[in-house]
Amino acid sequence: MNILFALHQFFPKHYTGTERLVLNLSKQMQRMGHSVNILTYGITEDEGFTQHDSGFYIKEYEYQGVPVISIRHELITAESDLTIFDLTMEKIVGKNISHAKFDIVHVCHAMRIGVIIKVARQKNIPIVLTLTDFWLMCPKGIAVTPDGQLCLNSENGNKCLSKCYESNLKSRMKRRVHDLAEVNKSVDCVVSATKFLKQVYAHSSFSSEIKLIPFGKDYSNVRSNQKTYAAHSDITLGFMSTMVEHKGAHVLINAFNMVKMGNIKLKIYGDYFGQTHYYNILKDMAQDNRNIEFCGAYKYEDMADILDDIDVLVVPSTWWENSPLVLLRALAHKVPAIVSDLGGMTEVITDGENGFTFEAGNAESLAKVLRKIGQDPVILNELKARIQPPPRIEEEAFAYEKIYAGLIRKKELY
């Protein structure tokens, strides 16, 4: 099979969750004998482009053996992140994927590159859509209003205009609603990694049936954290994420400050990507506590070492996390986790079984959990023993391969 993955941004400059899962999936597909290409939008790319065509820059490169086609407008506007079908891109996208006969188009994030759905439909190529966040129904992608309220229903775009966007974007919001309906009709198969996201979209946006395929972990660089804990063991908590508000680092620091136990320390890993104001707030909150350490940004390759070092991962997000890859990675390493009770994380962590949950945004609730662990570190041994390894990338790829084959066979029949 010849598979085209499409998403809004890609390596080497962008390397967060969706990019990582597409990279892992495409590499596994190659191992299984399928040809793969990535179609992406060069949102922060400003060099290396080899073609200039009709107001677009195009370049082709390989990343870790996966061929990539990157396209971007000469002039990128802010609204490009709002539009599902940017029709100005239709021709250029069609032209740049015509060199190969693709059997499947797999859209993993429709931002900026969503027009591929129209192009694939025109070429009669079956389309698979994987939902990775809320972007199709929430232009901000995180379904949280500026005042921190969770927002799972845009009310056909009216709530977006009243809460998050200026009224001059009214036509764009309406257009989004229209385009989403067309996506619904155009794609042949919709997949979610979590029941949570499936329910959200099934409830509000998609009438088509949504399949469930959990994200798979690449175990080739996974080690198992073999530490055991005694009654007076020291505990290191880890926070491993970007330092933006909805990831909840402030909740964790607040909770940690309430817990005055000398045998627990907190290590905070992650970049703040220019969010200096928020980062400074975090530093101020932590300045009087010697047991809090800011360890800076980390690379993917560093994760194994970090997970060897920490004892518990904390994911204190205040938004609807879907299936954070760092959580899956921690579980694969046999590191228990404390997560907020929002979104898809509670499908992976069962309170008291393989980790703990706490009320999202509530520092006291989190502090209670931290105290429990600090007073009796031995409970971590039980949690670790009950951790079921997350699914593997081979399983995820196999499940998608079946879908691709089924869609191709259906197309051949019809």
Partner 1 sequence: MTLGTTAWHQHIPFAMALVDLAKPRILVELGTHYGDSYCAFCQAVDELKIATSCYAVDTWAGDLQSGPYGPEVLEDLKSHHDPLYSSFSRLIQSTFDEAVGHFNDASIGILHIDGYHTYDSVKHDFETWRPKMKANGIVLLHDTNVRERDFGIRRFWEEIQVKGPHFEFLNSHGLGILALGENYPRALRFLFEANESATIKIREFFFFVANLEGLSDTLQIKGQQLQNRDIHIGNLDRLIQDREQRLSNKDIEIETLVQKVNERWLDIGAIGQQLQYKESEIISLNKTIEIRDQSLVNKDVEIQTLVQKTHELSNIIAERDKLIQQIMSGIIMRLMTRYKLAVEKVLHPETKLRRYYDFASAGLKTIATEGPGSFWRKFRHYRSLRKKNSRIKIKPLKLKPLIEDPQKSVAAIDKTVSIVIPTKNAGIDFDFTLGKIRNQKGIREIEIIVVDSGSTDNTIEVAIKYAAMVHSIDPSDFNHGLTRNYGAGQSHGEYVLFMVQDAMPIGDYWLHDMLHVLEGDNKIAAVTCRQVPRSDADLFACASLCNHNRALIFSRDGVASTSAKFDDLSPIDKRRLAGLDNVCSMIRKDVFDKFKFTNIRYGEDLELGLKIRAAGYSWAFLYWTAVIHSHNRSADYLLKRGYVDAKLLAEILSYEPPDQYVDYLDVMDVVGCLRILYAAINLSVVALGTYDDNVKDTLQRFKSFVQANLNSGPTRLKNFERSGRYLDGIFDDMIKLTGTGDLKPNDSLTQSYFDSIDHFAGYVRAYKSVKEKEGQFVDALYKIFAIIAGHALADYYLLMSRGGGVNESLTYINSLLSEGV
Whether 159 and 153 have beta carbons less than 8 Å apart is answered as yes
Query: Which residue from 55, 219, 228, 297 is in contact with partner 1, where contact means CB under 8 A?
Result: 219
Residues 331, 336: Cα–Cα separation, whole Å: 6
**Stretch of 78-86, 136-144, 250-258, 389-397 contacting partner 1, by CB under 8 A:** 389-397
Give yes or no for residue 117 binding partner 1 (CB under 8 A): no
* H-helix or E-strand spanning residue 304: helix 303-309
Q: Provide DSSP, 200-251.
A: HHHHHT--S-EEE----B-GGG---------TT--EEEEEES---GGG-HHH
Indicate the SS3 state at residue 230: coil
Q: Cβ closer to partner 1: 27 or 247?
A: 27
Query: Cα 357 to the chain's mean position, in Å?
Result: 20
Find the shortest distance in angstroms from Cβ 386 to partner 1. Answer: 11
Give yes or no for residue 393 binding partner 1 (CB under 8 A): yes
DSSP state of 161: I
Going by DSSP bridges, is the β-strand pair 51-53/56-63 parallel, antiparallel, or unpaired? antiparallel
Give yes or no for residue 65 binding partner 1 (CB under 8 A): yes
- Tell me, residue by residue from 43 to 62, as one string, x for binding to partner 1 by CB under 8 A and - for no binding: -------------------x
Count of residues that bind partner 1 according to CB under 8 A: 40
Q: Cβ closer to partner 1: 153 or 350?
A: 350
Quick one: tokens of 219? 């175990």
Q: Cβ closer to partner 1: 166 or 412?
A: 412
Q: Cβ closer to partner 1: 31 or 260?
A: 31
Give yes or no for residue 414 binding partner 1 (CB under 8 A): yes
Burial of 134 per CB tally in 10 Å (0-12, 13-18, 19+):
buried
Give yes or no for residue 35 binding partner 1 (CB under 8 A): yes
Query: Which residue from 220, 262, 287, 290 is in contact with partner 1, where contact means CB under 8 A?
Result: 220
Q: Rounded to the nearest 10 degrees, how much is the dihedral formed by the CA atoms of 366, 244, 63, 302? A: -50
**Residue located via tokens 């999936």:** 25
**What's at 273, amino acid-wise?**
F
Residues 166-195 that bind partner 1 (CB under 8 A): 189
Residues 202, 355: Cα–Cα separation, whole Å: 29
Q: Cβ closer to partner 1: 260 or 386?
A: 386
* H-helix or E-strand spanning residue 204: helix 195-204
Q: Cβ closer to partner 1: 13 or 402?
A: 402
Give yes or no for residue 24 binding partner 1 (CB under 8 A): yes
Q: Cβ closer to partner 1: 245 or 395?
A: 395
Cα end-to-end span (Å), the chain: 19
Q: Which of 28, 1, 19, 14 is nearest to 397 (CA)?
A: 28
Find the shortest distance in angstroms from Cβ 326 to partner 1. Answer: 18
Find the shortest distance in angstroms from Cβ 176 to partner 1. Answer: 28
Give yes or no for residue 307 binding partner 1 (CB under 8 A): no
Quick one: tokens of 217? 């972990």
Q: Cβ closer to partner 1: 158 or 350?
A: 350
Residues 263, 279: Cα–Cα separation, whole Å: 26
Give yes or no for residue 212 binding partner 1 (CB under 8 A): yes
Find the shortest distance in angstroms from Cβ 411 to partner 1. Answer: 12
Q: Cβ closer to partner 1: 262 or 414?
A: 414
Find the shortest distance in angstroms from Cβ 263 to partner 1. Answer: 28
Residues 172, 168: Cα–Cα separation, whole Å: 9
**Beta bridge pairs of residue 129:** 107, 190
Find the shortest distance in angstroms from Cβ 103 to partner 1. Answer: 13
**Could you tell me which residues come within 8 angstroms of residue 159 by beta carbon, excluding any fewer than 6 positions away?**
151, 153
Q: Cβ closer to partner 1: 206 or 269?
A: 206
Query: Cis peptide leading into 12, omega within 30 of 0?
Result: yes
**Stretch of 21-29, 131-139, 227-235, 352-360 contacting partner 1, by CB under 8 A:** 21-29
Q: Which residues bind partner 1 (CB under 8 A)?
A: 24, 27-28, 30-36, 62, 64-65, 67, 189, 209, 211-212, 218-220, 224, 388-389, 392-395, 397-399, 402-403, 405-407, 409-410, 413-414
